[in-house]
Chains A and B, each alone.
Chain A
């Protein structure tokens, strides 16, 4: 070394000193599962598409495409999904959950406005799959099967596709232009739709037409009936038929005073529909309390705003020509409702029963090898029935029922059918490493109140079937997407890189890409503590 006059030793660099040797624990970047995506019945990777959407502009299309990897109905779900993602959202602990559902709707509407489309991801396989039923489960399965290159035919008994999305959900929650557009886009993948074509004998169809596999998604179309002592003049209908008939252009005669019996979302839909059909009194009679009602709280609040009245802890004892006799209930110590013997009268011109829905499995025929229990088709984890090559999902199988759940069934069944056609064993279920709220460092997130969607003015909500809930505009959708805390996933805030006292975090350049220089990392854990997203953990060194 060429040293200046009188200097005998040049400066060495501290980098010769590998202080990483002090370490007993090391920091490791991880990608944990966010609660939102974990809770999504359709299986959407919510955090990832929110991340895309946060960029705005081209990010919207990327976000939409990511949703479409799992769910072909973002505009529908952005309206009718009961968003368990938001219930699970960690931001709920901080202020209020991210409005995931409203961002999804924005992306879905944006896609329809821009005409974005998706293509198949695989070359044609030459395999033919029959889907029975064109509701959310059937269409979702058809979509995923078609994208995997299979030739799919959907048979539908009704004159128009959509199932419960069309015949069960009123227009004021789901405008038909939106539903039609998403179905059209889906069918454009080359899916054959045969409407007005009920499958009446599955065995015969399978044998005669040589399908490689079938997916049964016929739904639960029958209103559950119960015995009510009723005078002959009493007008009793069921909610499913009411909503179905309405969609086919009927205008049922409900009278001025309508009582709805039940506590689910369908009961609320029926009551809100009755108001729109001119009923001055729409009363929901339910035997438990508001807290125990299965209907979604937001639906109940909307209904109340529209003048629907709820009679909690009440059961219908009998129906008389002039109205109902209601018996009051009370909750016992275990929270179960029991009869009190106290009755009261409720004037009503008609009674709508909304007590749940049953399946119609007559198309399975007598000789079917399919096992059925309690009116639903038995399936395994992969949605396979007991008959090889035949799968089932949606409302026709046991379990909770919703549009989003059905869409999830359709996707997972399509994956199983694809596996089955290829002779692959089903993929094992992955372990979930959930990012808890406690893993976040919320100091770094700015206070940002949730943006709520506006609603149609009340006057129009009792006289028209116009959509009640409005969408978000571009700016607000962007704002709402950016409220995401990115639980368990790096979003390149640079805190780890900026705050390492040992300059031992290397920023590689592309967003989210850092490495820890283990020659110098002393394992202090500062980066773990200051990571807003909980995406770094400490792992003990081997000794």
Chain B
């Protein structure tokens, strides 16, 4: 008789849930009693990656904290589409801060909790990449330095999207935005600019830094849960494709995020006290071109005569990160 050990099978590992899996191995998002922290009727664009990520992150944090959670939200897409006066999509205690001071407000909430002896209520701050890497960086750095008991989540859609797709410090090289067109000798964001915030956060040697995307809900939820099991300043950087700003199809939002990870352009990892402790390996490695071609912000790289030099430079960037983080199991061995 042939015996093959029964491993996880079918979609057990990679889809949100599965009828045959033990409920504890399914995602929070697959559960009928998830908090649905951001409910229907919000005004995010069709296929918005940030709306999806916010619900996944908040629901996982709600489960991890038993529902004792306060969230502070910087100005940005997430705040604009979820709370047009007088309506709110939030099903959790939610505070709106200025664009740049979400980290400071969250530090204040955490201090207030400490002052009132409420160590059971946890604080989670949310911001887009603009509110994190550009406008809010000073407050965030201070929050890290003081090791305030806050999980700060950046939903990175790589630009200022609701104001008309302007460049941010998180916009990738080569991408075209409303205000990068005339820069340099050609279209697209210049190389050698921008900020890698996960590494900046790691440089603060805070207890926990992680990256994730909406392409892997198991991984994203696990990181939120891990973050909420710790105290002190924690940072989670989530890649959220933006159909509007990236020029990708609304139905491709998760696929684009997946290709960002599988091409190596977006390394997925965890770090504790400044040291990388875990990486999510690439399962099916693809050339960066496969990722870039789905987005009109990179269209100029492929329309005649094309910019193979820029594509090659982006590929080199991906290859460097794959080697730096050890993302490709085959390359390792």
| Partner-B contacts on A (CB < 8 A) | 9-19, 22, 54-55, 443-446, 448, 451-454, 470-473, 475-476, 478-480, 482-486, 491-495, 497-504, 507, 509, 511-512, 517, 519-520, 522-526, 528-530, 532, 538
Q: What sequence of 0s and 1s flags, for each residue 14-51 of chain B, a beta carbon within 8 Å of any chain A beta carbon?
A: 11111110000011011010001011111110111101
> Do B16 and A13 have beta carbons less than 8 Å apart?
no
Q: With the chains together, A494 CA to B11 CA distance in Å?
A: 10
Residue numbers in B under 8 Å from A15 (CB-CB): 39-41
Tell whether, in the assembled complex, residue A14 and residue B47 are in contact, meaning their CB atoms are under 8 Å apart: no
Query: Smallest distance from the beta carbon of B266 to chain A beta carbons, Å?
Result: 16
Question: Cβ of B87 < 8 Å from any Cβ of A?
Answer: yes
CB distance B40 to A504 under 8 Å?
yes
The answer to whether A12 touches B88 (Cβ under 8 A) is: yes
Contacts of A475 in B (CB 8 A): 3-6
Instruction: Please judge, given known A-B contacts A14-B88, A16-B87, A22-B46, whether A444 and B14 are in contact too, CB under 8 Å.
Output: yes
Asked if A524 and B29 sit within 8 Å, CB to CB, the answer is no
The answer to whether B16 and A499 touch across the interface, beta carbons within 8 angstroms, is yes
- With a cutoff of 8 Å between Cβ atoms, the chain A residues found around residue B254 in the complex are 499, 526, 529-530
> Is A479's CB under 8 angstroms from B87's CB?
no
Give complex CA distance A10, B284 in Å: 50
User: What is the interface residue range for chain B against chain A?
Assistant: 35 or more
Using an 8 Å CB-CB cutoff, how does the interface string of B62-84 with A read, 1 for contact, 0 for none? 00000000000000000000111
Q: Pick 7 A–B contacts, CB within 8 A, sort by A.
A: A12-B87, A14-B84, A443-B14, A446-B11, A472-B1, A502-B42, A526-B52
3 closest A-B pairs by CB? A525-B251, A498-B16, A494-B17
The reply on B324 being an interface residue by CB < 8 A is no
A471 CA to B1 CA, complexed, in Å: 6
Residue of B nearest to A9 (CB): B86
Contact of B16 among A11, A495, A504 (CB under 8 A): A495
B199 at the interface (CB under 8 A from A): no
Given A494-B17, A497-B29, A498-B217, A14–B10 Cβ distance below 8 Å?
no
* Complex CA distance for A386 and B43, rounded to whole angstroms: 67
A493 touches B41 (CB 8 A): no
Q: Give the CA-CA distance A485 to B89 in the complex, in Å.
A: 36
Which chain A residue lies CB-closest to B88?
A11
B43 contacts which of A12, A13, A19 (Cβ < 8 Å)? A19
Report yes or no: A17 in contact with B43, Cβ–Cβ below 8 A. Answer: yes
Out of B4, B8, B89, B255, name the residue touching A446 (CB < 8 Å).
B8
Q: Give the nearest-CB partner of B42 in chain A.
A: A14
Contacts of B217 in A (CB 8 A): 498-499
Would B29 and A454 count as touching, CB distance under 8 A? no
Q: Collect the chain B residues with CB atoms within 8 Å of residue A522's CB.
A: 46-47, 250
Is B317's beta carbon under 8 Å from chain A? no
The answer to whether A453 touches B41 (Cβ under 8 A) is no
Please name the residue on chain B nearest to A508 by beta carbon: B32
Q: How far is the CA of A284 from the CA of B143 in the complex (A)?
A: 82
User: In the assembled complex, which residues on chain A have CB atoms less than 8 Å from the CB atom of B39?
Assistant: 13-15, 503
The answer to whether B36 touches A503, judged by C-beta atoms less than 8 angstroms apart, is yes
Asked whether A14 lies within 8 Å of B89 as measured between CB atoms, the reply is: yes
Query: In the bound complex, how far is the Cα of B48 from the Cα of A499, in angstroms?
Result: 10
Residue of A nearest to B14 (CB): A444
| One of A479, A493, A500 near B17 (C-beta < 8 A) | A493
Q: Please, how many angstroms separate the alpha-carbon atoms of A262 and B90 in the complex?
A: 75
Q: Give A332 to B312 CA distance when docked, in angstroms.
A: 50
Given contacts A494-B16, A494-B30, A526-B251, contact A11 B86 (CB under 8 A): yes
B142-172 vs A: 1/0 string, CB under 8 Å?
0000000000000000000000000000000
Contact A501 B48 (CB under 8 A): yes
Q: Which of A452, A483, A528, A529 has the most chain B CB atoms closer than 10 A to its own CB? A: A529
Q: Please, how many angstroms separate the alpha-carbon atoms of A512 and B19 in the complex?
A: 9
The one of A454, A495, A523 that contacts B15, using a Cβ cutoff of 8 Å:
A495
Contact in complex: B2, A452 (CB < 8 Å): yes
CB distance from A255 to the nearest CB of B (A): 38
> How far is the CB of B221 from the nearest CB of chain A, in Å?
10
Chain B, range 249-265, C-beta contacts under 8 Å to A: 249-255, 258
**Which A residues are in CB contact (< 8 Å) with B18?**
491-494
Nearest CB in chain A: distance from B299 CB, A: 21
Interface status of B55 (Cβ within 8 A of chain A): yes
